[in-house]
C-alpha cells in the first residue's frame, strides 16, 4: 500500500508550567494527547508548584515568549490555540498581536484570574488587556469567580444561564460557564454553554465525584475542548466531549494518591 502523508491535528497551548505536573502546560499536553491531537507549547511562566500549592513564579522574558510563538507558528500548522495563564498586560498584548499575525481563528481561552484561595492573580491593567483579547476567542471557559470578575456581579444557581449569556453578548464570544464552584445541592454538575452564532444556550450535566483530586481541571477542560475542535468537531460537540472527558478523568483519578495535597485528574484513565 502506498504511504500517504497526513498532517497532525495540532493544538498550541500558551500557558504557565506546573513543576508538579498537575496543571498548566503539563495538564494541557496530557489532555490534548489523550484526546487525539498533537500538542505544541509556549511557556509564559515557570512555577515552583506541587499538590500543596505554588511557592514561586518566574515570568518568562517577553522576548523569549515572542521567540517561542514565532518558532512554533512559523513552522507547525496549528489549527487551534488554547490560551491559559497570561500574567501581564505585555504578554496579553503580545499574544493578541501574534494571533493576528498568523491569522489564528480557532481559539479556546481559559481566563486564569483567580486562585483557588480566592486571591486575584491578575493586575487591573492586565485585566483590561485581557478583556480586549476575549472577543478574539472562539470560546472562553471561566469558572464562577472569574466570570464574576469579568461581569462585576455575583453568580448563583438562579442566574447561571443569564450570566453566561451576558458574558457572551458583552465580549462577543461563545462561553462555557463552569458551575463547579456553586454549592452542591445535587449529585450533578451543570455547566452552561452559550453559543454566540445561534444566540442560544445548552446545559451540560455530568455526575459530581466526591474527591479532592481536581488539581488542573480547568486547564485540562479547555485543552481537551481545543483538541476536539482541532479534530474538526463543531463547537457544541467539542465542548460536550471535553466535559465528558474531564468528568471521566476525575472519576478515574478520585482514589489515586499523588503528593500530600490536592492531586490531579487521571488524564489517561490508567
Catalytic machinery residues:
178, 214, 216-219
Three-state SS for 161? Answer: helix
Asked if 51 and 215 count as a contact pair (C-beta separation under 8 A), the reply is yes
**Angle at CA 138, nearest 5°, toward 137 and 143?**
75
The whole-angstrom separation of Cα 98 and Cα 159 is 36
- State residue 192 phi and psi, 5-degree precision: -110, 125
Packing angle, helices 217-230 and 24-34, rounded to 10: 40
**Consecutive H or E run containing 4:** none
Q: What is the torsional sign of CA 128, 150, 261, 30? A: negative
CA 45 to chain CA mean position, Å: 16
Tracing cell 487525539 back to the chain, one arrives at 36
- Adjacent-strand bridge partners of 139: 108, 174
Amino acid at each position: 500500500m502506498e504511504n500517504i502523508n497526513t498532517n497532525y491535528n495540532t493544538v498550541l497551548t500558551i500557558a504557565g508550567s506546573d513543576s508538579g505536573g498537575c496543571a498548566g502546560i503539563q495538564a494541557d499536553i496530557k489532555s490534548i494527547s489523550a484526546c487525539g491531537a498533537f500538542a505544541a507549547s509556549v511557556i509564559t511562566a515557570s512555577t515552583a508548584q506541587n499538590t500543596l500549592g505554588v511557592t514561586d513564579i518566574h515570568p518568562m522574558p517577553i522576548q523569549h515568549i515572542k521567540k517561542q510563538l514565532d518558532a512554533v507558528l512559523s513552522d507547525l500548522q496549528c489549527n487551534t490555540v488554547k490560551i491559559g495563564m497570561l500574567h501581564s498586560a505585555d504578554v496579553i498584548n503580545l499574544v493578541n498581536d501574534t494571533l493576528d499575525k498568523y491569522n489564528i481563528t480557532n481559539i479556546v481561552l481559559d481566563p486564569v484570574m483567580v486562585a483557588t484561595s480566592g486571591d486575584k492573580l491578575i493586575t487591573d491593567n492586565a485585566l483590561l488587556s485581557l478583556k480586549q483579547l476575549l472577543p478574539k476567542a472562539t470560546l472562553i471557559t471561566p469558572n464562577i469567580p472569574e466570570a464574576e470578575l469579568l461581569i462585576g456581579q455575583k453568580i448563583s444557581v438562579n442566574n447561571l444561564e443569564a450570566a453566561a449569556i451576558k458574558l457572551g453578548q458583552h465580549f462577543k464570544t461563545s462561553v462555557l460557564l463552569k458551575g463547579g464552584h456553586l454549592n452542591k445541592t445535587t449529585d450533578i454538575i451543570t455547566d452552561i454553554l452559550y453559543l454566540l452564532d445561534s444566540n442560544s444556550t445548552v446545559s451540560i450535566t455530568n455526575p459530581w465525584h466526591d474527591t479532592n483530586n481536581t488539581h488542573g481541571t480547568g486547564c485540562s477542560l479547555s485543552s481537551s475542548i481545543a483538541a476536539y475542535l482541532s479534530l474538526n468537531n463543531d463547537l457544541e460537540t467539542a465542548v460536550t466531549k471535553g466535559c465528558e472527558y474531564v468528568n471521566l478523568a476525575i472519576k478515574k483519578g478520585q482514589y489515586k494518591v499523588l503528593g500530600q495535597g490536592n492531586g490531579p485528574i487521571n488524564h489517561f484513565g490508567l
